[in-house]
Amino acid sequence: MEYAENILGTIGNTPLVKINTLAKELPCLVLAKYETFNPGNSIKDRMALKMIEDAEADGRLQPGGTIIEGTSGNTGMGLALAAIVKGYKCIFVLADKQSKEKCDILRAVGAEVVVCPTAVEPEDPRSYYSVSKRLAKETPNSWYVNQYDNPSNTKAHYESTGPEIWKQTDGKITHFVVGVGTGGTISGVGKYLKEQNPNVKVWGVDTYGSVFKKYHETGIFDEKEIYPYVTEGIGEDILPKNVDFSIIDGFTKVTDKDGAVYTQRLAKEEGMFLGNSAGSAIKGVLQLKEHFTKDDVVVVLFHDHGSRYIGKMFNDDWMREKGYLE
């Protein structure tokens, strides 16, 4: 009989799927690493489990403890699933720009959810960074995950996502393209792929309002680059320790509008019902067209599922309000 001992045994080994319609103008083969097949419907299940296991191993997370994290929703879901199996409580802090569905889903799996304003500085006591740190100090027997600076985040992708992509492409991958938020995915996967073949190019997809692209190109952290944006899950107004800029060959920035429009196009033209960052990622691939040749194998990673964006990118009234649809 074939079965997993619990839901955590189903994390990873997600498929690679060819992009057909949206990639037809490109000379190369474009394959999507389709992470919604994880049980929490996102790539974050991988690093959530790894961060918990490492914290258990060195005693930061004690039996019956409370897991506290600031999340845009997906890491929270991964942590919540592991917490249910392992017997922990969860408190998650989200910024108010995240979709209502994300908050509802986290509550549905038993987590306590605290919502904070988006349009404040990271150091502001109301920011989701500050609130999650404060709650961790105030809550007895708690562990603050800090996915941005927690090295287990990158390690999870170095140990699982990277080797899977290498094996699935039979070592033929030439380019890896992925949206960058905490930096764990691009840094872990990128490090593994470049160790196998130093010629593999690693591209980050950034958003307008985020500091990554300019910092990578100039070494300057430019606060004038920072302003509120709609795109969820990618871009930052801080420099997480998990972003290893030495592994990244370049960034391309995608607008909020393009990210939203291409999220709809993936669903309607590829049958791929995915989250907001997938729209940004495929548009990023299209923007990098001049870097690809006919022999290239480009892997783009799709983080999460469309069910988290029903009220936003999949709601035409919302899309019209934002000026994204005619």
Q: Residue 181 in contact with residue 233, Cβ under 8 Å?
A: yes
The gap from C-alpha 170 to its chain's centroid, in whole angstroms, comes to: 25
CA distance 234 to 72: 10
Q: Which of these is catalytic: 24, 33, 44, 167? A: 44
Q: Residue 289 in contact with residue 59, Cβ under 8 Å?
A: no
Read off the tokens for 190. 């990128």
CA distance 226 to 208: 8
CA distance 23 to 287: 11
Read off the tokens for 55. 């914290």
Q: Helices (DSSP H) in 222-300: which residue ranges?
A: 256-270, 276-287
| 44 annotated active-site | yes
Angle between helix axes 276-287 and 256-270 (nearest 10 degrees) is: 100
Q: Residue 303, Cβ neighbours under 10 Å: how many?
A: 27
CA–CA distances in Å: residue 61 to residues 7, 8, 89, 109, 135? 20, 18, 11, 20, 15
Query: Which residues are registered as beta bridge partners of 29?
Result: 297
Q: Residue 27, Cβ neighbours under 10 Å: how many?
A: 11
List the catalytic residues. Answer: 44
